[in-house]
A and B are shown apart, each in its own frame.
Chain A
Amino acid sequence: MGDLSTLARGRRQRREPSKIPYYIVLILLALFAIGPLVVLVFNSLKSNAEIGRNPLGPPLSPVFDNFPTAWSQGNFATTLVNSTILTTGTIVGVCIIAGTAAYAMARLDLPGTDAVLLYLFVASALPFQLFIVSLFFLWSTLQLTNTLFGLIVIYWAIFSPFATLLLRSYLVALPRGFEDAARVDGVSELQVLTRVVLPLSWPGFLTIALVSGLGAWNEFFFAITFIQDENLKPVTTSFLAFQSNFSRDWGLTSAASILIMLPVVVLFLGLQRRFINGITAGGLKG
């Protein structure tokens, strides 16, 4: 009794309150965030019969059949390729579009940079609902609906304003000495960009590649609107059809879910700091 009260007094005197309640709440929040994903992994390893008896708990007799079945029934051999093409095409295009634009604003003294910056802010905030109807009409006219290329061009447009802003702020902070030295040697502006600026600014490019790549891989709204052909669908919209075909076969849908999220989660855990900094820098879509 006496020990406890001196202990309490000692605490008050040090004015250093215990952090244990903080950790308890933080752990509860972490369970809220991760618990459902643990259930997803559990259920991907259960037969449909076991899910009936044991809906959310750990698998008592784990089976791995769900994965090959989901792979073939979900047409993943095709859709994963489609998603990879969309993501790669988006990353390459956004890096080129944002790279050249950011370079023009940060280094080539683009006249009217302030107006362009304002436009980019506005363009990255314009709601999809404002242009989706006319865009669909335009894409039909140009025969770009039901093509991966048509969807990639849309992703270029919606992801490049933010990528340009991010890359510009990165380039502005880079010292100019090396570029000036290269210009003295008489190389062209394009070569200055590819030979000098790119090797120095790769972390900025990696960030915009991650953010726009994640955006393209997970994107739903434009994918469901512009791609109806089953053989061209990315994993996201194809999964929606798969889910309604195997309604409430949670073992199978869980396995398919894991196939979709695994590449993203692995990449995220590997490059967490860059992902988090890039996305919280203002990539506020979605």
Chain B
Amino acid sequence: MTAWLFMLPLIVVNVLVILGPSVATIYFSFTDWSGIGSADWVGLQNYTEIVADADFWSALMHNLIWTAIFLTFPVGMGLLGAFLLSQITRFQMVFRVLYFIPYVIASVVNAALWQNILDPTRGIGSVLATVGIPYLDGVSFFGSERLALPAVAFVDNWHWWGFVVLLFLTALQSVDKELYEAAKMDGANRWQQFINVTIPGIRATLVFVVLMTIIGSLLVFDYIYIITQGGPAGASEVVGTLMYKEAFARFEAGYAAAMGLGLSFMSGLVILVFLYLRRREWEI
């Protein structure tokens, strides 16, 4: 009894902010509702509209592109950085701290800083032009329909990859050193050691990072909302920003609830795949 009394603050706050509203979202997703006042039951109408909504599919496509970008660059840089760090002892802590600094800085600051560096006329493009490399001069990275999405992903990645390094480094440090010695005895070069010893040794963390990346890419919001608001002309719109606009700019809260539920359902599916793989004795 005393034990539950001690749990009470956690339970109250959680039910009030997370569990209750989450359950209510299921109800609101079947209604036509502006976000205030009464909600009218419309059955599956929101869902059928989403399926027919070209903006939704375009946004989901951008989520998939985002996922592809984040499964390659941060994971690759994270593995590279962690592998190199695990091979050295001097200055290891200095590098860890330097790589991690962007991760602790607020998204609005990181966004502004890269808007400055990638400014079309007062940024890296014009600096390169003065030393004879004119190709980036005048290029508006965040204002171009072709470049906006990868440019925002680049900024988010800059803030994120150092964190991935530390996750991988923790895993690498627990790989048995004797396995590397055995591989060297068999004449394996560094790359072969990496493929045959390192990757299997950190498989659990690797799968975890991949899972986190996919879910994070489905739910991405901050950097896109801050830098481009989904523009220009929807070129960097993702489901998270589209749903936010439906709820708080177009006052289609019922529609937004259905979209949010669909998004949560997709990230739930990813977790189920993860659990299924684990049950299949993948040792992850």
Contacts and interface: CB of A to CB of B under 8 A. Distances in A.
A18 to B, nearest CB: 11
Interface stretch (A6-14, A171-179, A198-206, A247-255): A247-255
B85 interface: yes
A4 interface: no
B234 interface: no
B201 to A, nearest CB: 18
Given A33-B98, A133-B35, A137-B35, A96 B9 contact: yes
A133 B14 contact: no
A173 B6 CA distance: 20
Contact of A55 (B122, B158, B243): B122
B232 to A, nearest CB: 16
Contact of A25 (B84, B107, B184, B253): B84
A123 interface: yes
A138 B21 contact: yes
B184 A15 contact: yes
Interface in B243-284: 243-244, 247-248, 253, 256-257, 259-261, 263-264, 267, 271
A245 to B, nearest CB: 13
A225 B247 CA distance: 11
A164 B7 CA distance: 10
Contact of A97 (B10, B25, B88, B212): B10
Q: Is the interface of B mostly helix, strand, loop or mixed?
A: helix
Given A131-B21, A280-B166, A55 B104 contact: no
6 contacts: A36-B114, A108-B6, A129-B263, A130-B263, A157-B14, A261-B109
Contact of A236 (B24, B87, B100, B108): B108
Given A52-B122, A214-B104, A239-B108, A253 B18 contact: no
Interface centre among B108, B167, B170 (most CB of A within 10 A): B108
B24 to A, nearest CB: 4
B226 interface: yes
B25 A131 contact: yes
Interface string A152-163: 011011101100
Interface string B10-38: 10011011111110110010000001100
A29 B96 CA distance: 11
B56 interface: no
Contact of A135 (B17, B87, B99, B116): B17
A98 interface: yes
A136 B35 CA distance: 8
Contacts of A96: 9
Given A189-B2, A220-B108, A253-B112, A39 B117 contact: yes
Contacts of B263: 127, 129-130
Contact of B122 (A214, A248, A275): A248
B139 interface: no
B17 A131 contact: yes
A39 B113 contact: yes
Nearest to B103: A279
B222 interface: yes
